[in-house]
Structures are given as structure tokens and as C-alpha cells.
Chain A
Amino acid sequence: MKKTVTFVVLTALLILLSYFSLNVGNYSVAPKKVLAMLGNRLFNTEMPQTDNYEEVVVFDLRLPRMLMVIMVGAALAVSGGVSQGVFRNPLVSPFVLGISAGASFGAAVAIVFFGHIAYSIDILAGLGGLVAVLAAFAIARRPDGYMPRLSLVLAGVIVSSLFTSLVGIIKYVADVETQLPAITFWMMGGFGNIDWGSLDYVIYLIPISIVLMIVFAWQLNVLAMGDREASFLGMNIKFWKSFYLFLSVAAVGMCVARSGVIGWVGLVIPHISRAVGGPDHKTMLPLSALLGAIFLLVADNISRTITTGDIPVGIITSIIGAPFFIYYLRKKETAVWN
């Protein structure tokens, strides 16, 4: 019951925020007009008097951007929750594990060397993310199969910094006029360039991967018992680990390919969700999806209104996320360092 209320309240909040996002921005459009235009598109009500520009701003700039932010926020948070469960480690996220850095390396390679091939950024970002997480895993895992929590975090740091350096090398060979700004944009993370074209297939595949991760959440509960225990409880851990690793890397890869590297969402949001709705992944993952979308929507609204320019949203998420995580780590009852 309490859970249902939480979900209803958060969904309402997300809808309100979405509407709010369509209204705010450097170009002012009267809220009444936005509502009337939405009514026209959705329910075929009477179209208000608008100049062409207002329609473009709301429907071709703000709406696709808002949808992308919601998808990316939800995908990063859910993937973060998934990686914490799969690795049995509350200190990890796609960012910490190096998935984001690996994906941005893939994106950089695609921009510089395969710019002419369609979807090369998506494919290489996904592959880069996969290589990164497997490398972090291989570094942290001891021969007997045991993986100390901090080792995995450190392995992620190693992999991340390696991939970041590789991106640095690529920057040197990149074309200064066109490719370099694109790479720099990817490293910072933001939604400044999103239009309907950026949503093409990810508008289907990101939600599908999120839904799949949520529907099989029970498996994650059992996986979080550890490999050995999950095995003797009857789980085919190779299958389920691969399933979750593949989906989370694919989701993060698609996010990075479209909006660059955005940190903290995947680390902080699952912790808040667990505090609100308990550790059961059946509740925790959908809650993460909602909270992740809300968090990133707020951050993106701040990033595009706080200055006249459009500052990368990754900066805002760090400014909010870092202090929160410091607070979390220093809490007495959070014994995660062992």
C-alpha cells in the first residue's frame, strides 16, 4: 500500500516535471499555449494562435530532449542498481565500473575513424562498454573466484583512467574543427544536441532493455546472494549474469552514444531507492527508473536555465551526487568497506 502511494506520487511528479520542462528555457512560450498545443497534438483540440517558432521550440527541441533525458535517467539508474546486484557490491555503477569510459572511447573511435558508417557510434560505444566491464571484472577477480569489494572499485578506476587516456590520444588525431568538439561533448555529457533524429531506434530499445531488467528482478535478488549460493539455490548463474550484464551494458552504451558520459545517477539513485522501498529488486528497480528520470530531468532543467548557455548536465549531476555519496559512505550503518 505504502509502495503504491510512493509510485503514484513519483509518477505524478515525473509528469508534472515533464510538463514543466516543456515550458522552461531561454525562449519563452506561455504555459497556456504549451498546454493548448499539447492538447492539439494529443487530443486534436483547437490549435492556439502561435508563431511557427513556438511550435518548433516545444515540439522539436524541448519534447525530444525531455524524452531522451527521462530514458537516460531511468536507464542509468536501473543499470546502476543491476550492476550493484550482479557484482554484489553497493559501491559500483556503470560509471565506476568503467562502462561509461569504455563506451566514450568507443564513441571517440567511431567519430574519428568511422564517421561515415551509420550507427558506428552506437555499436562501438556498446562494445567499448562491454570490454571495459569485462576488463574490470578480470582485474578484480582473484583466481579462487573471490572478488573483494574495493578491488572491483579500484579495477574500475584503472579501466576508466586507461580508457580516458586512450580518448586523449584520439583527441590528438581528431579534426580540430569538427571531430574534437564532438568528442569533448561526449566526455562531458549533455542533451544539447538532441532532436527527433537522435531518438530514432533508442526510443524503443532503451525502454525495452529497462523493462526486461525490471521484469526479471527476482533473479537479481538471488544473484545478490553471491555466485556460490545462487548456484546451489538452483540458478544458472552464467546465463543470468550474462543476461543482466548484456542488458545493462547495452542500455548504458545507447545512453552514452546519444548523451555522452553522465556520472552519479547510476550510483546514487539505487541507494536512495533502496532506502525508500527496501532491497527487493522487484521494487528497487522500478523505483530507480522513476527517481533516475526525475533526478536527471531536474538536473537537465537546471543545466539549461542556470546560465544563458547550456552547461553539460554531467557537471550538475556531479555537484548534486558527490556530496550525497560522501554522506552515504560516512553513515554508521553503511558498512560497505569490508
Chain B
Amino acid sequence: MELAKDSLLKVSGLKYRYPSAEDSVLNGLDCEFKTGEKVAVLGSNGAGKTTFFNLVSGLTEGYEGSIKLAGTEIKKLKRVEIAKKLALVPQKHEPLFPFTVRDFVLMGRYARLGVFGIPREEDLEVVKNAAKETGAYKFFDRPYNSLSGGEMQLAVISRALAQESELLILDEPSTHLDFKNRFVVLDLVRRISEKRKVALLMSLHEPNDVVQFADRVIVIHEGKIAADGKPRDIINEKLLLDIFQVKAKEIKTDKNSLFMPVSVCV
């Protein structure tokens, strides 16, 4: 039962070279993301995942090719328009001043508030619901620089939810988290995506997380898309060897296959 899905983000012929570098990081990427999809981006360190996210969220300019957000070239959109359509959860948020979690999440409403930032009743409601959905409501009035890594990630995701965008980009959402919190966060964003019909675009390091939490995977390798499709069709021993130079053993479970690294081939 395939619903009619709109194209949220369409990338064609995307090339990018850092001004100080000789070679391009991204060398001709084509892909399209639709409403409600849960897409994982897989690639080795330095493959250009973060660069890709910065480009599609309009934070990095000077690319070749085209990036269309809801049909409009991203270069032509104002930041405030982008923020209403796309929310980004950064790899790590470094807190500085001790804002409460409440005030921090409210900043997700930036694009929808006036210049004076006076929240309306509905904004406060959105903020509260976002925090309740992630569980950040438990520490709503605590200064957010006192949070643990897992709690912080929930606060940052709440802020992104408060943006009420259709696309949620998560840059390595599980990297700094322990075993439990990694599951908590990935399971949370999966549920959010299903409940709110929000498209997810997240970079993951662990192929098994991809198998478990995404319904589509894009593999970025040597500046190009090496594979794009359902995780169970794409992730296999050969791919892991090609991308990560890791020999892995496939372990069949009742639903999926998981992979255990055995050795590294240099």
C-alpha cells in the first residue's frame, strides 16, 4: 500500500569541493526524499555525510548541481523559510549559558515567532508537547548544561520537534551515547517519524542500527552514492568490506540479518 508521496528534498548532480581542498568531497550525488521516509546515511569517517547535511540544509553554499527543498532551490530560500520545512539535530550541542530546557526548546519556535520572541499560547503548547513526546518534560525546568549526554540529546530533539518541520535531519544522533541511550534515541526518532509523518535523514555509524531503524539507506562512498535502497537488500558482507574494509560475519535473526565485525583488511 504505497501512498502518494511528495518529494520533500530533491538533490541532483550535487558536487562540492571545500575552498581549501583540491578534490571534491561530493562528486555528483542524485537522490530524492519523500514525506515520512526514514533514511539512514552510511559512509566511512570523512565520506562527506556532514558536508551533505550542511548542503541540503542550506548551511554551506557554493555547490554545483541542484538542491530543491519542497520544489524550490535552497539557495533562493531565506533561513526562516528553510527552518519551517527542515529541522537539524547537530552532532553535539555545546551548552554555554544555563538556559532551562523549557527556554532551550522554545528556541525551536524561532522561525514562527516575531522579532521580540514573545511566545503565544499555542507556541508554549507545541513546546510542552515536544518535550513530553521525547521525555525531556521530566527535566523541563532544569538548566540544560546540567543534563547528561542522553538527556541533552532528548532536549535537542525536542527543540527540533518544536520547529514542526516535515524533514528532520540528524547528524550522528547516537555517536556520543551509551548502549541504552542509543536505543532510546533511535527508537524515539523512529516513533516520532511514524506518528508525525516526518521524514528522517540520519547518519549512522553502526550498520546494525541502519538495519533496525531505517527503511531506506544511502551509502556515500568516494563522493558518490554507492547504493540506495532497502537496508536488508543493500547491507551485506561485500558492502561492509568495500566501504569500511571490514570483514563481517552475517548473523541471521528471525526478521533481519545483523553483522558482526571479525577483522579489518588493510
Query: Which A residues are closer than 8 A to B by beta carbons?
Result: 85, 88, 90, 143, 215-219, 221-222, 224-226, 228-237, 274, 278-280, 282
Contacts and interface: CB of A to CB of B under 8 A. Distances in A.
Interface string B86-115: 111010011011111001000110110101
Given A143-B20, A219-B115, A221-B117, A232 B59 contact: yes
Contacts of A90: 96-97
A233 B99 contact: no
B98 A279 contact: yes
Contacts, number: 75
B82 interface: yes
Contacts of A236: 78-80
A231 B83 CA distance: 8
B84 interface: yes
B250 to A, nearest CB: 38
Interface residues of B, number: 32
B90 A221 contact: no
Interface of B: 20, 57, 59, 78-80, 82-84, 86-88, 90, 93-94, 96-100, 103, 107-108, 110-111, 113, 115-118, 159, 163
A228 B93 CA distance: 11
B110 A222 contact: yes
Contact of B79 (A224, A226, A234, A274): A234
Contacts of A233: 83, 107-108, 110-111, 159, 163
16 contacts: A85-B97, A90-B97, A218-B118, A219-B115, A222-B110, A230-B110, A232-B83, A232-B86, A233-B83, A233-B108, A233-B110, A234-B80, A234-B82, A234-B111, A236-B79, A279-B98
Contacts of B59: 228, 231-232
Contacts of B86: 232
Contacts of A225: 93, 107
B110 A234 contact: yes
B99 A280 contact: yes
Contacts of B116: 215-216, 218
Given A221-B117, A228-B59, A234 B84 contact: yes
Contacts of A221: 99, 103, 107, 117
A228 B90 contact: yes
